[in-house]
Amino acid sequence: MDTDTTKTQVADVVDSAREKTQDQASHVVEKGRGALRAQVDARSTQAGEQAQSIAETLRQTATQLRQTGDEQKTRYAGIADQGADRLERVGGYLTESDAEELLSKVEEVARRQPWLVVGTGLILGIATARFLKASSTERYYQQRQVHEAPPTPWESSRTLIEPGAARPPALAPTV
Asked if residue 126 and residue 64 are part of one domain, the reply reads no
| pLDDT at position 132 | 86
Do 78 and 137 lie in one domain? The reply is no
Please tell me the predicted confidence (pLDDT) of residue 84: 94
The string of pLDDT tens digits covering residues 65-97 is: 999 888 898 999 999 999 999 999 999 999 998
Q: Are residues 11 and 91 in the same domain?
A: yes
Global confidence as pTM: 0.54
Query: What's at 104, amino acid-wise?
Result: S
Q: Is 161 helix (H, G, I), strand (E, B) or coil?
A: coil
- Quote the number of domains for the chain: 2
pLDDT value for 46: 93
More confident residue, 36 or 165: 36
With a CB cutoff of 8 Å and minimum separation 6, the contacts of 83 are 55, 58
Percent of the chain with pLDDT over 90: 37
Q: What angle do CA 100, 89, 128 make, to 5 degrees?
A: 65
- Residues 138 and 93 placed together within one structural domain of the fold: no
Using the predicted structure, report yes or no on whether residue 99 has a pLDDT greater than 60.
yes
What is the secondary structure of 56-99 as a DSSP string? HHHHHHHHHHHHT--HHHHHHHHHHHHHHHHHHHHHHHHHHS-H
Which pLDDT score, from 0 to 100, does residue 169 have?
52
Pick the last residue of a domain from 94, 112, 130.
Answer: 112
- Average pLDDT rounded to a whole number, residues 107-122: 92
First and final C-alpha spacing in the chain: 82
Return the axis-axis angle of helices 71-96 and 2-67, rounded to nearest 10°. Answer: 160
Q: Rounded to the nearest 5 degrees, what angle is found at the Cα of 111, between the Cα atoms of 107 and 113?
A: 115
The pLDDT tens digits of the residues spanning 121-174 come to: 999 999 999 888 887 777 777 776 666 655 555 555 444 445 545 555 555 555
Q: Mean pLDDT score of the chain, rounded to an integer?
A: 82
Whether residue 100 is found in the same domain as residue 140: no
The domain of 85 spans 1-112
